[in-house]
Amino acid sequence: MNKLIIFSVIGFLAQLVDGSLGMGFGATSSSLLLMFGIAPAAASASIHMAEIATTAASGASHLWFKNVDKRILWRLTIPGAISAFIGAAFLSSLPGDKLKPFISVFLIVLGLYILIRFLFFNHSSKSQGSPFSSKFLTPLGMVGGFFDAVGGGGWGPITAPVLIAKNGISPKKVIGTVDTSEFAIAVSATLGFILFLGVDQYQWQWVIAFMIGGVIAAPIAAWLVRIVPSYLLGVLVGGFIILTNSMTIIKTVGLPVSLATLAYSLIIGLWAVAIFYQFKNRKRFVAVH
């Protein structure tokens, strides 16, 4: 029972991060299940089952607070859902863990770009018309959906940074759109896992615990996205991308605990400095926020 309560709290915190920054629920939850010895396929299947409820609540909340760009939503969702099903079907034979470090390096570069752009350049929070064509959104959705199913989390970490790195759409719209579209990704991946793994692989008590915590957090996170200024949201997202993907790289390299702790402390410290810098210089962004 104590373990289930802990999982509910983690589900709450993971969804609070995911719903307000566009990523984190899958990566956080799947990492926990793997730590408890659950096989990667079973962990990913359980998380996607839980995400059906959490992403439904998150998507409804973001729609309520008008954080969604509907012009992008479907063009991103449909290819993502298709590739998520494919990823679930082939998970058992794919080296998902070996691919993660390469994706993480790419995302760290994107995170740095987002940080620099929001720290040193004015960024309008108003949409200037969708700058994204189907030729751009379709492959992005397919890559995000595929690796989300393979890795137990990846839809937000892959799609949100790429969209935020573009001009013409505010971070809050990106986060709301990505979180809302994730419902279809979770449903599609879950159907694939049920078809190819069966229902015996699911850790049902843990799934329900994650669901409860995530559903409670979803409307709170959507409200936070609505009120947090875009210039600050960009720095929060950029720093979070760098931190989470640095963890993947550090684990892959196998740094000693002391060096890993030093690296995490340095990243978090620099992130805190960047946030403080944004607060101090927020007047520069008032005119465009």
pLDDT digits (tens, 9 = 90+) for 18-75: 888 787 787 767 766 766 667 767 777 888 889 899 999 999 999 999 999 988 999 9
Q: How many domains does the chain have?
A: 1
Residue owning tokens 């709170």: 220
Longest dimension (CA), the chain: 56
Residue 16 has pLDDT above 90, yes or no: no
Amino acid 181: pLDDT:
96
> How far is it, in rounded angstroms, from Cα 168 to Cα 78?
22
On whether the CB atoms of residues 43 and 33 are closer than 8 A, the answer is yes
Length of the chain: 289
On whether the CB atoms of residues 209 and 1 are closer than 8 A, the answer is no
pLDDT digits (tens, 9 = 90+) for 92-133: 565 556 666 776 787 788 788 878 877 887 655 454 445 678
pTM across the whole model? 0.77
Report in angstroms the alpha-carbon separations of 170 from 25, 68, 113, 185.
22, 10, 16, 23
Residue numbers of the domain that contains 64: 2-285
pLDDT digits (tens, 9 = 90+) for 122-144: 655 454 445 678 899 999 999 99
Amino acid 174: pLDDT:
92
* Mean pLDDT of the residues in the chain: 82
